[in-house]
Structure 1
């Protein structure tokens, strides 16, 4: 799973990334415009968003995302704790609110709660699609009760497809989500990994669930 953290206090940003990287893949931005650009790619499972940011504030970012029908869960992180700010954030479509200073376990727990509510995570860190089970803590995979060996990137690819089953994912979205913006590979790697993932699922018959959308990307059949 991949998270985005947008925070202009660099030491705090680095601390949050370090905390959340214990469980998730994490991207970061330190100003509003970069944060909006990354969030608008719609490849994240949750966003930690500071309110006071240079360029544009967190409320403006969230308002822009929701107007574009991007429903990624958002946790506001801010030093401001007035009732007005809390109401404003929730009215714009925010999902939770955490006031600085905070303790690492609370941040982690709130992120997990957001992911459970959005359906990206179960209490047991398990993601299910038909007879496929992904156990997030250890990246173990079982298909129809039998273990399946996947590489880390194959696991992330399958995880992303399951989280978005029924939706068309462009090659660009898959590349940015699984390999990241700073990867030194090319987008052609997506086709290679989809091919390999299908091969791994073929003995169980699930390879046919991954549909190619010509000229666009891929779609995992809706459950």
Structure 2
């Protein structure tokens, strides 16, 4: 999943950023709601996680939730509060948040809630955004699955494939792949993409997968999945 993490707490940002990356998510960080809204209006995210928000910032959060709901592809919004009563959490949910946690919360529960919201969104729209008739990614095992065959992906391979699957059978720019699969890095050598793609190709070939990653000259790559 592509996640936008919003937190003014450095400790919470470091913890959640590390936890999401280790779970093979693409994570972008913002330290305030205004910048998060700017990013969300220019790029697509599956979920926005707003963490360690003081109750004195509720008005800003309510305004942000209203704006997020107007986005063409509104992401799921998860709020994690340092403290809050049941009534305060209910107000946040009524304002448009999809889930609200209070510390101490379980990262595992937060992640499963996001995956459940994503499945529900796909079911409502009648689509499975990261599946094709041939291929799917298993977020629990980090496997690529094709007709019953499975192969384990590294975290970087998983993210790169997830990005390619969003536009299966269509070219994806190298810069887009870097922003998605290397969101935790500020400066990425393009050769790093080539290296991961080479590993992916070997895995697909050695495990008898029909899907293949094709090079689009001077542009990027394409996942041929049919």
TM-score grouping bracket, smaller chain normalisation: 0.5 to 0.7
Q: In the alignment, what sits opposite 1:182?
A: 185
Q: What is the RMSD of the two structures over their aligned residues, measured on CA atoms?
A: 4.1
How far off is 1:170 after superposition?
3.7
Structure 2 CA distance, aligned partners of 1:65 and 1:221? Answer: 33
Distance 1:129 1:97, change over 3 A: same
Number of aligned residue pairs: give it: 209
Aligned to 1:98: 100
Looking at structure 2, the residues matched to 186 and 33 of structure 1 have their Cα atoms a distance apart, in angstroms, of: 30
Partner of 1:129, secondary structure, is: coil
Q: In the TM superposition, what is the alpha-carbon distance from 1:106 to its structure 2 partner?
A: 4.0
- Are residue 5 (structure 1) and residue 5 (structure 2) matched? yes
- Is 2:119 the counterpart of 1:112? no
Change over 3 Å in CA distance of 1:145–1:37 after alignment to 2: same
CA contact (8 A) 1:133 1:142 kept: yes
| Greater RCO, 1 or 2 (C-alpha within 8 Å, sep 6+) | 2
Output one character per residue of 1:71-90: Cα deviation in whole Å (capped at 9) or x when no partner: 322223444817554333x2
Q: CA deviation at 1:6?
A: 0.6
Whether 1:45 aligns to 2:46 is yes
> 2: CA distance between counterparts of 1:66 and 1:45?
13
Inter-CA distance 44–12: structure 2 relative to 1 (3 Å threshold): same
Alpha-carbon contact 2:93-2:100 (below 8 Å) kept: no
Q: Distance in 1 between matches of 2:14 and 2:184?
A: 18
Structure 1 residue 69: Cα displacement? 2.5
Cα distance in 2 for residues equivalent to 1:66 and 1:170: 28
Unpaired runs of 5+ in structure 1? 121-126
Quick check: 1:36 aligned with 2:32?
no
Task: Tell me, in whole angstroms, the C-alpha distance in 2 between the residues paired with 1:19 and 1:155.
Answer: 16
* Distance (Å, rounded) in 1 between the aligned partners of 2:6 and 2:224: 33
In the alignment, what sits opposite 2:211? 206
C-alpha distance 68-198 of structure 1, shift in aligned 2 (>3 A): farther
Tell me if the contact between 1:157 and 1:174 (Cα under 8 Å) persists in the aligned partners. yes
Question: Offset of 1:98 from its aligned partner?
Answer: 0.4
SS at the partner of 2:43? coil
- The answer as to whether partners of 1:42 and 1:72 remain within 8 angstroms in 2 is no
- In structure 2, the gaps of 5 or more residues are 124-129
Residues 73, 184 of structure 1: CA spacing in aligned structure 2 closer, same or farther, 3 A cutoff?
same
Q: Distance in 2 between matches of 1:68 and 1:211?
A: 33
Displacement, 1:40? 4.6
Instruction: Measure the CA separation in 2 of the matches of 1:8 and 1:144.
Output: 44
Shift of 1:116: 2.4
